[in-house]
Structure 1
Amino acid sequence: MTGVNSGRRVAIVGAGIGGLTLAVELRRQGLEPHVYEQAEELREVGAAVALSANATRFLRDRTGIGEGLAEKAADVDGLVFRDGRDGRVIGRVLSREAYRARCGAPYYGIHRADIQQLLASALGGVGLHLGKRLVRIDDSGAAAAVLHFADGDRAEADLVIGADGAKSLLRREVVGYDDARFSGCYGWRGIVGPQHLDLLPDPAAIQFWMGPGGHLLHYPIGSGEQNFLLVKRLEGPWPEQAWLAPGTPGEHVAAFEGWHPAVIQMINAVPTGDRWGLFHRPPLHQWSKGRVTLLGDAAHALVPHHGQGANQSIEDAIVLADCLTDALARGEDWEPARLRYQVRRLERTRKVQVASITTADVLHLPDGARAEARNARLGAPDAWERHLAWIHEYAADRD
């Protein structure tokens, strides 16, 4: 699409996956957004990310990074649920080929820094400003919102997109306070080379190892390594509003004593670091205030038990870009476009948030009848259709 720019200034705060996807798509459709990122360089933060078909279809078909993504990422071969202690397969859904046939796009595991670099390259360096930490926004003027950065610089914009993550400053601008909620679980993250994982079955699959009070999620990434998140349900107090809490040597291994040797081998290959508090934020009824509109984790931060954080941000970016550029092409104001974006995304993201938070309860069931019933459901022939298809087969650009 061309000829829609009309001189309107768009500022995107945050060069994460959602913010960069939005910038690339807006530029493809004729706008000239500016992205402001607090980091001095796009470096590895959060280690890796799983990209499911509901997002990779857009990265492949719209952003132009499909070829680079296929080169940098691991092509995940199915999803496996296992008993965390004896290692038996509880359920196995969709091979690589079956997943692509059902969902129309691949399932990838990739270093977060790699996809950020691919998206930044798609921008061609145009409109990407690093080392710009937002400290304040003044949206009281009639002409424009004014963004104030820590280095003293300022920028004006007609529309400000808060893509600044789960700890979003701009969400506080919309909501008025910090509404982060601790989920009751914490975890450890790590990346392990294949040379340390000779006991691991199905290394090409994304896998959940389940047990009372905890689980291990891991998947391959393009380097051949495994990215893992080890999750433990809290027993005792958690430091209030602390996203990170100090750990003690070996505590993550001790917490999973008696689990399968492949689990112990994987988590023992990485020294204990800080414990990550798993926080989420309650669904919002309004995603905009003044000239500010939220996107991704800033709008709907969720826990990682469905691996949908980055994927929902990409869905948001595509829908918001379409709503904005469609409105401009018809000569409309952006206010109804932002409302249409919210309407199209609110229920979808709310459902994914709820599913993500409740998945931990399902994975962590104690031994007994409820765990046996869960295992029967996950091992049933219709497990994909009942539990996962609604997430992965969804096409966000179909109104």
Structure 2
Amino acid sequence: MEVHLYEQAEELREVGAAVALSANSVRHLQARLNLTEPLAAAAADVDGLVFRSGRTGDVVGRVLSRADHHQRCGAPYYGIHRADLQAILLGALAGPDAGSGVEGLHLKKRLVDIDDSGARARLHFADGSSAEADLVIGADGARSTVRRLLLGYDDALYSGSSAWRGIVPADKLDPLPDPEAIQFWMGPGGHLLHYPIGNGDQNFFLVQRTPEPWSASSWVTPVEREGEHLTMFAEWHPAIVQMISAVPVTERWALFHRPPLEWWSKGRVTLLGDAAHAMVPHHGQGANQSIEDAIVLADCLLADSDWEGPRTL
């Protein structure tokens, strides 16, 4: 298969903060892409999941220690910076002899339309260029253009929650209980999720339940005032207050999801990952489900006799 990747960004750079990779994706990255060593070098091997009271810090429950996760799930649970994961995947795509360029990767290509009426699908980009393919895979995220073109409308639904995020260096935190675990602190009106990444920093995701409709035109907006995220969490456990106060927080993220689709393919076009099934991040499965999708789709394409011969994706 001749595969081409079209990306709207002008350069590949870190977007967001960190990502949690659970065993259902890690084992594929290890076995299918041979990324065991680079993942282990760049990620934190998380030591279980701990649920705590947001106000008192009392432990509500524990799930799967590091050793349990390795044994029962067949692979580690990793916390990794998105930039590091992207670099590892790009290295796997490029190969050791790629030099400065990556064959088949096209930047500054923002999709605006797909014409699937001819012998091949034609993609039209904002810069006036176009490309043809036998199969188009829309892996363009929660705000997928490909999904909107397939459905004819935008079906995003506000979840009733918004969030702030940040990465805090370990030297800005007093000793945390269970610093090597992924931790979920729960309280009235919100929760905090945090976990370590490869260099020992803590990635946090602070969620406030705000059921009133999201009024902003963008899913991500600048904070209205400095420290706005501290207001409702001021009476929470001191470790939480310290963490969310340690670094500047400049953006607020509305959490959207999309209703399940009865179908996610039409003609020569299909969807993958968040474009197919965008979910809120509370279970840390968005990236993991996308990786599983890619593995399953690759297997289906290789096994399907209807796709014999050279193909361009």
TM superposition score normalised by structure 2: 0.93
8 A Cα contact 1:148 1:154, kept in partner: yes
Counterpart of 1:290?
Answer: 267
Question: Is 1:82 aligned to 2:52, yes or no?
Answer: yes
- Match of 1:332, SS state, is helix
Counterpart of 2:34?
Answer: 64
Q: Distance in 1 between matches of 2:11 and 2:179?
A: 32
After superposition, what is the alpha-carbon deviation per residue over 1:306-345, rounded to whole angstroms, capped at 9, x for unaligned?
0000000011001000001111xxx3248xxxxxxxxxxx
Q: Distance in 2 between matches of 1:281 and 1:238?
A: 15
8 A Cα contact 1:74 1:222, kept in partner: yes
* Residue 46 of structure 1: how far off its partner (Å): 1.4
Counterpart of 1:46?
Answer: 16
Q: Write 1 or 2 for the structure with the bigger share of strand.
A: 2
**What percentage of residue pairs aligned between the two structures are identical?**
69
8 A Cα contact 1:182 1:241, kept in partner: no
Counterpart of 2:311?
Answer: none
Q: How does 1:79-118 map to 2 (within 5 A)?
A: 79-118=49-88
> What amino acid is aligned across from residue 281 of structure 1 in structure 2?
R
Question: Is 1:155 aligned to 2:131, yes or no?
Answer: yes
Counterpart of 1:396?
Answer: none
After superposition, what is the alpha-carbon deviation per residue over 1:217-243, rounded to whole angstroms, capped at 9, x for unaligned?
001111211111000010644216531
Q: How does 1:1-399 map to 2 (within 5 A)?
A: 31-124=1-94, 125-141=102-118, 143-234=119-210, 236-239=212-215, 242-247=218-223, 248-327=225-304, 331-333=305-307
* Residue 175 of structure 1: how far off its partner (Å): 1.2
CA RMSD of aligned residues (A): 1.3
Q: Distance in 1 between matches of 2:211 and 2:281?
A: 20
Q: Write 1 or 2 for the structure with the bigger share of helix.
A: 1
- Match of 2:233, SS state, is coil
Q: Distance in 2 between matches of 1:236 and 1:129?
A: 40
The number of equivalent residue pairs is 300
Q: Distance in 2 between matches of 1:332 and 1:155?
A: 23
- Match of 2:103, SS state, is coil
> What amino acid is aligned across from residue 71 of structure 2 in structure 1?
A
After superposition, what is the alpha-carbon deviation per residue over 1:144-182, rounded to whole angstroms, capped at 9, x for unaligned?
111112222211000000000000000011111000000
8 A Cα contact 2:162 2:252, kept in partner: yes
After superposition, what is the alpha-carbon deviation per residue over 1:168-208, rounded to whole angstroms, capped at 9, x for unaligned?
00001111100000000001010000011114211110000
Q: Distance in 2 between matches of 1:182 and 1:38?
A: 25
* Residue 272 of structure 1: how far off its partner (Å): 3.0
- Match of 1:45, SS state, is coil
Q: Distance in 1 between matches of 2:21 and 2:270?
A: 24
Counterpart of 2:99?
Answer: none
Structure 2: unaligned runs, 5 residues or longer: 95-101, 309-313
Q: Which has the higher contact order (CA 8 A, sep 6+)?
A: 2
Q: Distance in 1 between matches of 2:292 and 2:47?
A: 23
* Residue 270 of structure 1: how far off its partner (Å): 2.1
- Match of 1:255, SS state, is helix
TM superposition score normalised by structure 1: 0.73
* Residue 134 of structure 1: how far off its partner (Å): 1.2
> What amino acid is aligned across from residue 326 of structure 1 in structure 2?
A
- Match of 1:126, SS state, is coil
8 A Cα contact 1:136 1:148, kept in partner: yes
